[in-house]
Structure 1
Amino acid sequence: MTRWALVIGASSGMGRATALKLAADGYDILGVHLDRRAALPRIEALRAEIEGMGRRTVLFNSNISASTNRKAVLDHIRETVAATEGISVLVHSVAFGVTKPLLGPGSATEEDLTITCGVMGHDLVHWVRGLLERNLFESPGRIFAMTSEGDRRAWPSYGPVAAAKCVLEAHTRQLAVELAARKITVNCILAGVTDTPALRVIPGHDELAAAALRRNPHGRLTTPEDVANVVSLLCDSRAAWITGSVVSCDGGESVAG
């Protein structure tokens, strides 16, 4: 039986690593990304690597901050996925937000806060609703969203994203309860500081990474592949009782100091 995984944010970082790991695990991959023309060779490389594993892949380059675009992608997915197939895994790995202070010159505007919480927080609910409305989600199923230690720590200019992560975790708990009858689990993965394009747009990211490296008892930063491996583990049928949780994937970084 064909198993599809839908990865939102598939072109880089944790999303890319997770798409590749799930393909290696035997899933066909639906990927959504937002990239300019210069990045398209990287996307084609991702496609080639997945197809080289003998898996199907369909990639959508779309700005999903617009609800009309998200709905168009969902409709295209319904046309792509055969009537006898469905999506078993949804991975929401979106880094599309504003990193600005909350107060003072250059601070986040009302629109900045709304967009960041919308795309990195509420967007998870919109994708889940869209899949269910189109009868695309399999039972049992798995849903994962990517959070960070910034949900509970204050980092310079991270306020808008921190708020979005809190929204995301709240939705994870609620969705876990509402989807239990369908045997669909919902969990957040809390990665340690990871060197990704999303990290590099945070002001002071070099200092953030250096501090994490000093704290981490393993003496290294978390990698996207570490996160992908945790997602892979939680897709196992033996993990069906883990839901509504924030699962740390940081090598002990968050408890070391």
Structure 2
Amino acid sequence: MLTSLQGSWCLVLGASSGIGAAIARGLAREGVHIAGVHFDTGARTEEVAAVVDGIRAYGVEARFFNANAASRATRDRLVPEIAGLTGDAGGIRILVHSLAFGTLVPFLPRDGWEKPLTGRQLEMTLDVMAHSLVYWTQDLAAAKLLRPGSKVYAMTSAGVVQALPSYGAVSAAKSALESHVRQLACELAPHGVAVNALRAGVTLTPALRRIPEHAGYVARAAENNPHGRLTRPEDVAEAVAVLSRTDSSWLTGNTIGVDGGELHAAAGAWG
């Protein structure tokens, strides 16, 4: 049975740009209030303010917090604030994990990269892009902010099954993230909470542009996608809205492709 999202709350981790910002805007259009956590320097103050203003233009509340979402201190501070914001609505209807901060260094030295990946870099990447999903879910569940019908989405990528010279640490983090999704789905099933990973196709976001090999990767993806174009952040936002309009938790524990068939298209077959 489909339900309205009007008046509910979504917490977006990584809300200030790219797919996270698009999801926030898309859900605001559905009448969803947005709490966003982002980690930006002062140079992006105006850009972030524009995102917030765009969300509020739909007549909903928007509260953004500039803090390190992977920090325990941030969770300790913000979870009570979020509880105060969302209490009248019954807690968090939708949690979106869209943190895209990791090390882009090969495991071994090669031309252009004289220093290989360090243990600290690998641990940081997995902590931010994977393990933080578990920690936020634990804290929100402990605060009783996840209720029957709540949805948890984690943004993964085709990088879990592909290799790029600089992408090893992020690929490992995305693989761990999908594993965490499966485990959380099983543990939250008795509470009526669904947990899924969304595998967006290649999408031109600030995070993608930081990948040294992104230009060639983007060109191949655009050529191979059966739709004849790249995935847009709005495509992912629409999927989140559609999947969230039910109280059912039966669709859970999956990695759902939101890529227009890109991953499964044979190279050159759709040009």
**Secondary structure at the counterpart of residue 105 of structure 2:** coil
1:59 aligns with 2:67: no
Specify the code of the residue in structure 2 equivalent to 1:245.
N
1:139 aligns with 2:139: no
Residue in structure 2 matched with residue 103 of structure 1 by the alignment: 108
Comparing 239-248 and 24-33, the one that deviates more:
239-248
Residue in structure 1 matched with residue 138 of structure 2 by the alignment: 129
Residue in structure 2 matched with residue 4 of structure 1 by the alignment: 9
Structure 2: tracts of 5 or more residues without a match? 1-5, 267-271
Specify the code of the residue in structure 1 equivalent to 2:233.
P
Are the equivalent residues in 2 in contact too, given 1:74–1:130 (CA < 8 A)?
yes
**Shift, 1:239, TM fit:** 6.1
The CA distance in 2 between the partners of 1:72 and 1:196, in whole Å, is 29
Comparing 197-206 and 66-75, the one that deviates more:
66-75
Residue in structure 1 matched with residue 86 of structure 2 by the alignment: 81
Query: Which of 15, 40, 45 is residue 50 of structure 2 equivalent to?
Result: 45
Residue in structure 2 matched with residue 13 of structure 1 by the alignment: 18
**Secondary structure at the counterpart of residue 63 of structure 2:** strand
Alignment of 1:109-124 (within 5 A): 109-124=118-133
Deviation string for 1:218-254 (max 9, x for gaps)? 1110000011111111102176421100000111111
**Shift, 1:83, TM fit:** 5.2
The CA distance in 1 between the partners of 2:8 and 2:228, in whole Å, is 37
Query: Which of 154, 160, 166 is residue 175 of structure 2 equivalent to?
Result: 166
Residue in structure 1 matched with residue 99 of structure 2 by the alignment: 94
Specify the code of the residue in structure 1 equivalent to 2:63.
V
Deviation string for 1:138-169 (max 9, x for gaps)? 22110000000001111121000000001000
**Shift, 1:71, TM fit:** 1.9
Alignment of 1:26-41 (within 5 A): 26-41=31-46
**Shift, 1:4, TM fit:** 0.6
Residue in structure 1 matched with residue 218 of structure 2 by the alignment: 209
The CA distance in 1 between the partners of 2:82 and 2:217, in whole Å, is 38
Name the % identity: 44
Specify the code of the residue in structure 1 equivalent to 2:16.
S
Query: Which of 241, 251, 254 is residue 260 of structure 2 equivalent to?
Result: 251
Specify the code of the residue in structure 2 equivalent to 1:192.
G
Structure 1: tracts of 5 or more residues without a match? none
Runs of 4+ in 1 over 6 A off after TM superposition: none
**Secondary structure at the counterpart of residue 87 of structure 2:** coil
Are the equivalent residues in 1 in contact too, given 2:203–2:233 (CA < 8 A)?
yes
**Shift, 1:131, TM fit:** 0.5
The CA distance in 1 between the partners of 2:86 and 2:235, in whole Å, is 29
Residue in structure 1 matched with residue 269 of structure 2 by the alignment: none
Aligned residues: 257
Specify the code of the residue in structure 1 equivalent to 2:79.
L
Give the RMSD, CA atoms, in angstroms.
1.4
**Shift, 1:23, TM fit:** 0.8
The CA distance in 2 between the partners of 1:107 and 1:77, in whole Å, is 40
**Shift, 1:175, TM fit:** 0.6
Query: Which of 220, 232, 246 is residue 237 of structure 1 equivalent to?
Result: 246
Are the equivalent residues in 1 in contact too, given 2:35–2:62 (CA < 8 A)?
yes
